[in-house]
Amino acid sequence: MASFSRLLLLLSVLLPFAHSVSITSTASWNITNDPEGSVHLNGLAFQQQALSTFGDYQYVAFYSTSPKGYGHHYVNLGRRRVTPSLGDWQYFAFSDYEQTTLDEHNTISLGISGDGKIHLSFDHHDVPLNYRVSSSGVAKTIPAEWTQSAFGGSVVHSLPGSTGPWTPLTYPRFERLANGDLLMEFRIGKSGAGDSYIHRYSSSSGQWSAVGKYLQGQDNNAYINGITSQDGKLYASWTVRETPDASTNHDFYFAFSEDDGKTWKASSGTTVTKPITPSTAGIKVYTIPQSSEIINQEAQCADSKGRFHALMRDKSSGTARFYHYMRTAAGVFSKTAITVPGLSTPPYLSYRGKLASVGDTLIAILPDAPKNTVTIWGATAAGNFQDWKSLATITNMAGEPLVDHERLKSGVLSVFVRQGGPFGTRKVQVWDFGLQL
């Protein structure tokens, strides 16, 4: 007994802060019936974002079936108050645009600029830009009615004030900067041959301008894990694909910018020539050969302590694993397998996960495809981000979870998920997990 107490004492001295994250409350909402058919249009890892908080409200973007039925979808936008207390969801559908391509690329991305305007881009797979924006700052001056009338105009195929190319476009992403300006990032080209561009919306002038092409393929293309602005730095990490075949994904690349994407640096801090190509010196951080079962566009985030985190899986060790890539504030990279009890080995091309950070806590939201679940884990800086602790498991899942990074800052992990099961019962849901940090 005495030695057991001493062991506990020793453990509490050795692990003073590890495992300090826990869940204090859980709630979920059905957002819509997921559209009919085998194709996923809601909940793909490259949607940046589908669920995002701005001020006192949270917003969700999703497709629902239009009155015409199978194969016809509307873009929907929901909102609810989250501060100081939770309100009910309100939704409307944009009935002037029908989405009809059954293709998992053709998702919706949502961005909110500091002036409160809500920007949406959707329905792309190597086609001209589709973009629409609210006519006023509806996320700042909150309208009593939640209807399409708040959005005024129609879908446009360029960003007002900026210069193209605008086609063939895929994977639009939005990221707000600290001053309220909004970046838009997308690929021009196609799988195995494409370039990545950034445009910037000025929250003061309401106009877009081109920041330029920052990644350029060499008869291949970069698939980014995300584009993340944190404390004055903009981070990108990616893998490179040689052909449309996903097995030709290779290597882990990283760059950061200290001027919001105008110029870029390698991990060492050395400024690199723009556009960055796969052969730009210092850009490749980890060599991972083709046919290693990397899945492009998994996840990344940055934390308030200057660390950068990415999630990408591979089978280079012989067993497929999720890996946590981390770059410290001092610029030192590590790649560590996420080995947690009970999590299945991710099958090739199975659903992708997410990472999110709050303070010294890192949250991994990992689909366990063989078990049809989404599992949520927490790790801490004190535990070297290897003290993964199971926080929650969501059952009956068949899709890629998305996370509200903004809301996490207030201690609520809010995730967007797609259920499994047949059309009619299969819901798109939002889950809230209150966190004790």
Ligand X SMILES: *[C@@H]1O[C@H](CO)[C@@H](O)[C@H](O)[C@H]1NC(C)=O
Residues near ligand X (CB under 6 A) are 28-30, 425, 427
Q: Which residues contact 312 (CB under 8 A, 6 or more apart)?
A: 225, 237, 239, 252, 294, 295, 298, 299, 323, 325
Residue indicated by tokens 């997921």: 34
At closest approach, how far in Å is the CB of 22 from ligand X? 22
Report in angstroms how near the CB of residue 417 gets to ligand X at its nearest. Answer: 12
C-beta closer to ligand X: residue 22 or 30 = 30
- As measured in angstroms, the least distance from the Cβ of 429 to ligand X is 7
When CB distances to ligand X are compared, the closest residue is 30
Please count the CA atoms within 13 angstroms of the CA of 431 that sit on its side-chain side: 22
Q: Which is nearer to ligand X, 382 or 392 (CB)?
A: 392
Least distance in Å: CB of 419 to ligand X?
A: 8
Q: How far is the CB of 243 from ligand X (least distance, A)?
A: 41
Distance CA 206, CA 21 (A): 40
Q: State the residue for tokens 């108050």.
A: 81
CB closer to ligand X out of 28 and 243: 28
CB 272 within 8 A of CB 255: yes
**How many CA atoms does the CB half-sphere of 248 hold within 13 Å?**
12
CB-nearer residue toward ligand X: 353 or 401: 401
In the complex with ligand X, the residue whose CB is nearer, 304 or 425, is 425
222: buried, middle or exposed (CB in 10 Å: 19+, 13-18, 0-12)? buried
Cα distance between residue 125 and residue 106, in whole Å: 6
Q: Residue 41 CB, nearest distance to ligand X (Å)?
A: 19
Q: Which is nearer to ligand X, 100 or 425 (CB)?
A: 425
Sheet containing 427-436: give its strands across: 22-33, 427-436, 412-418, 402-403
